[in-house]
Structure 1
């Protein structure tokens, strides 16, 4: 059982837990709810989240019995896009994570001593976001207590929370235009939120129009093609996805959750590691 770090008698230590809108951080919030009653829950809101994410956070607040603090960056995505001279964020240049997630979090904590509870499961081989500030100490309750994906699903089921609705077509939380989306997930966004897909297209076309005028480099959200080119390949992408789902279903034991099959199938398309802050 995770032991809660003790504060120095003369110092107050804040206990904070970041929510991404995904299953693991939601399960950790439920898991720690009664263990650390003074826990502060927060969500770094970029203003570009999926509607399903906001709905899930509202459900989670009811289960936790306290509000989830929304942390907003002082400057929005459009401001930073201009600062980076029209360079869209990418796996190689993750300026969105730095400016819209990490900076608001560290400003909120300030110089306070804080223990940050990170939702890395026991069956995962990754670290997630670990602050380099000396006043923030990270702990990993799921890893310490041996809680894996099955344990996470059990916590959510028993709490009556379930999964966010976007898990029907997307396995990662994050902005609607997140560059970590797989090809089939972009198609899913176009089907379920055509207005948001069109906004992502407009960002892409705007920066590429300006790049053409200045003979600069062109950028796309999805590596190797524009979103309009991607959507034009819908039938090919969907056929490949169906085949991957069938292969994943054969590999995985019967009666496994759709999410597990979907995740395995999508990983055949793209095994790029997700954002360490957004995907928890």
Structure 2
């Protein structure tokens, strides 16, 4: 890793968003002494995993300053009432717009600000949140300084904080019902947080009922296209849970293949590769860094 660049600029706010994921958490630690005036923030949807909130508390100790919670009074339930006709989806990410981007831009206001984004050097083709507001400049310290996945892991280990506990079964931060979630991750949620899984089921069933769609509908039918009736593509959560053994069997077989071909691969990377085979979806980079 090269010597750190001089990120300090006078007369502007310096902000670093934390999603609860490994990359943004590592960036917060990385910038702690480099930018002492840094303001840390977390856009709270009110639907985060318990492991995320616990990790943020531990991270505040490492950073020796609070992480501002944005959006605490207008979480998912508020916006779901407004967008009652459909669940958020990759085609209509009202959750990201209203619970992440708008609260952040309101918090910054018209102040000149530098926003530090946790894109790593080994994924510089990815896109994180880049504001279109003229007063917000985006910087990518890990790209500028050549910090890759291994570098992120070292930062977290050296700080003594490690990874959030959800990385044992899930590869991304974000809402417990995130529509980018993979099949095996939904099963992980059902096993580890059954009450949250049931809440996601209730939301989904309400949408189906309001739309007059039967629970055994074929969601691949042309008539269904353009609307998001289910959290996971092609089936309801009830149907997905009924396939629990099948999904876990495929997942465990894929993990075993990965262990044979890449025996030294860390668990979090092995999970990501296996789950990509299962669903092939990319996460929301605003939420999941």
User: Is 2:268 the partner of 1:268?
Assistant: no
Partner of 1:119: 118
Does structure 2 conserve the Cα–Cα contact (< 8 Å) formed by 1:211 and 1:218? Answer: no
Number of residue pairs matched by the alignment: 275
The CA deviation at 1:86 is: 2.5
TM-score, length-scaled by structure 1: 0.94
- 1:181-224 C-alpha deviation (Å, 9 max, x unpaired): 100000000000000000000000011111108x9966000000
Cα distance in 1 between the residues matched to 2:116 and 2:141: 7
For the residue of structure 1 that corresponds to 2:14, the secondary structure is strand
1:37 and 2:36 equivalent?
A: yes
Which of 225, 246, 254 aligns to 1:244? It is: 254
Q: Secondary structure at the match of 2:80?
A: helix
- Aligned counterpart, 2:189: 189
How well do the aligned residues superpose, as a CA RMSD in angstroms?
1.7
Superposition pairs for residues 10-159 of structure 1, below 5 Å? 12-72=11-71, 75-124=74-123, 125-159=125-159
Q: CA deviation at 1:249?
A: 1.9
- Contact kept? 1:73, 1:99, Cα under 8 Å: no
> Under a length normalisation based on structure 2, what TM-score does the superposition of the two structures give?
0.91
Contact 1:72 1:100 in 2 (8 A): yes
Q: Does the residue aligned with 1:123 lie in a helix, a strand or coil? A: helix
User: Which moved further from structure 2: 114-123 or 75-84?
Assistant: 75-84
Give me the whole-angstrom Cα distance separating, in 1, the residues matched to 2:207 and 2:6: 48
Q: CA shift at 1:180, angstroms?
A: 0.6
The separation in 1 between residues aligned to 2:228 and 2:163, in whole angstroms, is 37
Query: Would you say the 8 A contact 2:45–2:74 is kept in 1?
Result: no
Which residue of 263, 266, 270 corresponds with 1:257?
Answer: 266
Unaligned runs of 5+ in 2: 214-222
Aligned equivalents of 2:268, 2:188: Cα separation in 1: 15
Name the residue aligned to 2:5: 3
Residue pair 2:7, 2:34 contacting (<8 A) in 1 also: no
Using a 3 Å threshold, how does the CA distance of structure 1 residues 161 and 239 change in structure 2: closer, same or farther?
A: same
SS at match of 2:16: strand
In structure 2, the partner of 1:168 is 168
* CA distance in structure 2 between the aligned counterparts of 1:128 and 1:109, rounded to whole angstroms: 18
SS in 2 for 1:137: strand
Inter-partner Cα distance in structure 2 for 1:206 and 1:84: 13
- Structure 2 residue 280 is the aligned partner of structure 1 residue 278: no
